[in-house]
Amino acid sequence: MCDSLFDTHENIETGRELWNTLEAKYIAEDASSKKFIIFDFNNNKVVDSRSVMEQYNEILRIYGQFKQHNMFMDESIVVSSVIDKLPPSWKDFKHHLKHRKEEISLIQLGSHLKIEEGLHDQENDKGTRKGKSEFGQPQVHMVECDKEDNSNHKVKGKKRKCHLKRHMKRDCRVKLGNKGASGTGKDVGGGSGSHDQSATKGQITIDLVSSVFNVMLLTLEVSFVQGVDTDSWWLDTCSTHHVCNDERWFTKLNLVNKGTGVVSITFISGKTISLFDVLYVPKVRKNLVSSGLLNCMGYKQVIESNNYVLSKCGIFVGFGYYCDRVFKLNIISCASHVKSTCMTSASNLDNTMLWHNRLGHVHVKRMIEMSKSGLIPAFDIYSEKCKTCMLTKIMKQPFPNVNIKTEVLELIHSDLCDFHATPSLGNKKYIVTFIGDSGRFCYVYLLHSKNEALEKFKVYKTEDKL
């Protein structure tokens, strides 16, 4: 007992009286602390001024105190309460979680919050940089078509109603305003003096062509100015080919054949997709992924709430987010991609040894057959020998050469081994095999213990005679 408690209760004569005093004191304090924890949990609100993940961890800490005081609450209630505590700026995200059919755990909720907070931070960073141009970054100059041209090549003459430049009056498809108002003039194209329907259609057509031409110029300027982005891939719904500006992305590249090759893109989820017939264009500003070609390859693309989700056959592949009026794929950068490619062979060797050990040190030929059948993943064959297999072969004496026997039960090949501490579904730990030299048919029996091998041999002897 500490000195402070001893000084307070030193006059108590019996131990029972001391126990009752301490119990009454600390039970009352425990009840008050429970009320404070409940109050703290109910009034804890998530705000935008602080990190959402930090506030989420504080709520989990309070939830852990609930368990310490034997106050158990269903996890689904805690998840729903955390969703309701999110700030108003997360309204769309809250509605998305509430309309999900399947329930999510606290761990899954934390993962969703972390991803959503990262997207919010990226949007805020773009808002702070809006209107500022950095050195080497592309700048798009917007030009109004209605303004007069002040250059030396300005075409003299009256202002035309079409507001288009660099063409003579005789080539204009819309007549002058003064003649149109008087109704007595003649249109250059041979039409009447009235403002007829054909002139209006001509003006609309010219305006539409001019707008499309300006959009094409702006697109070319954005695509070919300085500030090339080599580490990102952008989704393009109008592109007919995949386009790449960095040779490091290509796993196969044929510069002679129009500069086409194969590019492998790895998402942050770990899934990798291969893009075929990718055009190598070093001067293009952004790497483009054709949405139409992905659709032809069987991928499902969903665009919703400024998010892009890519899947195939119901399996999630990766996602992207809305950035600079296009969707940017959330992938591993080019440097990390090259590094992971260099380490692929080492990881494949590790996978080879892993499956070799899992299958009970089976032969490599059998592993190749299983890989072709799709039972195990693909692996690389290497010359290194398994140390365990080498030790077992060294310990055994070589078998002498024998002639093939033709009579039943004259020569039997048998083997007894265990499952390496992993029992079967029937909780059996050993296996025994019998192979007759005459028929070459293998009988396999599962055993609880090694002493059952003799009984199984008697069963085999009876079955083989039949």
Phi, psi (degrees; rounded to nearest 5) at 432: -130, 140
Judge if 67 and 7 occupy the same domain.
Answer: yes
Judge if 275 and 256 occupy the same domain.
Answer: yes
pLDDT band at 126 (very low <50, low <70, confident <90, very high): low
Dump pLDDT digits (tens) for 218-265.
444 444 444 567 778 888 888 888 888 787 888 777 776 667 888 888
Query: Of 341, 323, 331, which is closest to residue 231 (Cα–Cα)?
Result: 331
Judge if 417 and 361 occupy the same domain.
Answer: no
Q: Do the domain assignments include residue 403?
A: no
Helix (H, G, I), strand (E, B) or coil at 1: coil
Q: Are 319 and 331 in contact (CB under 8 A)?
A: no
Q: Do the domain assignments include residue 141?
A: no
Please state whether beta strands 272-280 and 243-244 pair in parallel, antiparallel, or not at all (unpaired).
Answer: parallel
Q: Are 278 and 242 in contact (CB under 8 A)?
A: yes
Give pLDDT, residue 458: 92
Q: Which residues contact 268 (CB under 8 A, 6 or more apart)?
A: 318, 330, 331, 332
Q: How many domains does the chain have?
A: 5
Task: Inform me whether the pLDDT recorded for 189 exceeds 70.
Answer: no
Phi, psi (degrees; rounded to nearest 5) at 316: -70, 130
Q: Are 388 and 358 in contact (CB under 8 A)?
A: no
Give pLDDT, residue 148: 46
Query: Of 314, 284, 319, which is closest to residue 298 (Cα–Cα)?
Result: 314
**E-assigned strands of 186-297?**
233-236, 243-244, 250-254, 260-266, 272-280, 287-290
- Report the distance separating Cα 97 and Cα 80, nearest Å: 9
- Tokens coding 217: 């110029």
Judge if 208 and 258 occupy the same domain.
Answer: no
Question: In angstroms, how far is CA 102 from the centroid of its own chain?
Answer: 20
Dump pLDDT digits (tens) for 366-398.
888 888 888 888 776 665 778 777 776 554 566
> The domain spanning residue 252 has which CATH number?
2.40.70
Q: Do the domain assignments include residue 161?
A: no
Question: In angstroms, how far is CA 288 from the centroid of its own chain?
Answer: 18
Domain that holds residue 378: 344-395
Out of 121, 156, 185, a domain closes at 121
Look up the pTM and report it: 0.29
Q: How many CA atoms lie within 13 A of 393 on its CB side?
A: 7
Task: Inform me whether the pLDDT recorded for 347 exceeds 50.
Answer: no
Judge if 220 and 239 occupy the same domain.
Answer: no
Q: What is the mean pLDDT of the chain?
A: 73
Q: Worst-scoring range by mean pLDDT, 197-206, 288-297, 308-317, 437-446?
A: 197-206
Out of 333, 354, 385, a domain closes at 333
Q: Do the domain assignments include residue 95?
A: yes
Dump pLDDT digits (tens) for 130-179.
554 444 444 444 444 444 444 444 444 445 556 666 667 766 766 544 44
Judge if 204 and 281 occupy the same domain.
Answer: no
Out of 333, 365, 380, a domain closes at 333
Judge if 7 and 117 occupy the same domain.
Answer: yes
Judge if 54 and 111 occupy the same domain.
Answer: yes
Give pLDDT, residue 143: 44
- Tokens coding 283: 């001067």
Judge if 273 and 349 occupy the same domain.
Answer: no
- Report the distance separating Cα 102 and Cα 442, nearest Å: 49
- Report the distance separating Cα 434 and Cα 195, nearest Å: 103
Query: Of 262, 226, 267, 268, which is closest to residue 247 (Cα–Cα)?
Result: 262
Q: Do the domain assignments include residue 134?
A: no
**Type of residue found at 152:** N
Give pLDDT, residue 453: 93
Q: Do the domain assignments include residue 133?
A: no
Judge if 8 and 112 occupy the same domain.
Answer: yes
Q: Do the domain assignments include residue 284?
A: yes
Task: Inform me whether the pLDDT recorded for 93 exceeds 80.
Answer: yes
Q: What is the average pLDDT across 190-218? A: 50
Measured CA distances, 314 to 230, 296, 309, 319 (Å): 30, 16, 12, 14
Q: Do the domain assignments include residue 280?
A: yes
